[in-house]
Amino acid sequence: MRIQNQVPLAECTTLGVGGRAEYLVEATDETEVVEALDWAARHQVPYRILGGGSNVVIADGGFDGLVIHVASRGVVWDARPDSVEVTAAAGEPWDSLVAESVGRGYSGLECLSGIPGQVGATPIQNVGAYGQEVAACIARVRAFDRQLGQAIVLPAADCDFDYRDSRFKSAEPGRFVVLSVTFQLGTDGCAHPCYPQLVRHLEARGVPSPTAREVRESVLSIRREKSMLADPDDPNGRSCGSFFVNPVVSAEFASRATRDFPDAPSYPQPDGRVKLAAAWLIEQAGFPRGHRQGHAGLSARHALALVAHAGASANDIVTLARSIRAAVEARFGIRLMPEPAFWGFASLDDGLPDDRLA
Span 43-96, pLDDT tens digits: 999 999 999 999 999 999 999 999 999 999 999 999 988 899 999 999 999 999
What is the DSSP annotation of 52-89?
SSSSEEE-TT-EEEEEEEE----EEEEE-SS-EEEEEE
How far is residue 281's CA from residue 292's CA, in Å, rounded to a whole number? Answer: 17
Q: What pLDDT is recorded for position 219?
A: 97
Beta strand spans in 17-165 (E): 20-27, 47-50, 56-58, 63-70, 75-79, 84-89, 128-129, 132-133, 138-145, 150-155
What is the mean predicted confidence (pLDDT) over 203-212? 94
Residue 356 is predicted with a pLDDT of 58
Q: Are strands 56-58 and 63-70 parallel, antiparallel or unpaired?
A: unpaired
**Chain segment 136-166, per-residue pLDDT in tens:** 999 999 999 999 999 999 999 999 999 999 9
What does the pLDDT average to over 163-178? 95
Q: Where does the pLDDT of residue 290 fall: very low under 50, low under 70, confident under 90, or very high at 90 and above?
A: very high
- pTM of the full structure: 0.92
What 3-state DSSP class applies to 2?
A: coil
Amino acid at 289: R
Q: For the chain, which domains are there?
A: 4-70 (3.30.43.10), 75-185 (3.30.465.10), 248-353 (3.90.78.10)
Check if 242 is active-site.
yes
State the catalytic residue, choosing from 242, 266, 299, 313. 242
Q: Are strands 63-70 and 75-79 parallel, antiparallel or unpaired?
A: unpaired
The 10s digit of each residue's pLDDT in 12-24 is 999 999 999 999 9
pLDDT tens digits, one per residue of 291-308: 999 999 999 999 999 999
For residues 313-319, average pLDDT: 97
Interval 319-331 mean pLDDT: 97
Please give the Cα distance from 157 to 155 (Å, whole number): 5
- Chain-wide mean pLDDT for the chain? 95
Is 339 considered catalytic here? yes
Compute the average pLDDT of residues 187-204.
92
- 114/230 Cα distance (integer angstroms): 8
pLDDT of residue 189: 81
pLDDT at 357: 55
Which burial class, exposed, middle or buried, applies to 193 when counting CB atoms under 10 A from its CB (0-12, 13-18, 19+)? Answer: buried
CB atoms within 10 A of CB 120: 27
Question: Cα–Cα distance between 108 and 138 in angstroms, integer?
Answer: 10
Following CA atoms 246, 251, 256, 257 in sequence, which dihedral angle do they give, to the nearest 10 degrees?
0
Percent of the chain with pLDDT over 90: 92
Per-residue pLDDT at 81: 83
**Selected residue with higher pLDDT from 189 and 38:** 38
Give me the residues paired with residue 66 across strands: 23, 47
Whether the pLDDT of residue 358 is over 70: the answer is no
How far apart are the C-alpha atoms of 332 and 259, rounded to whole Å?
Answer: 10
Catalytic residue among 20, 142, 146, 164: 164
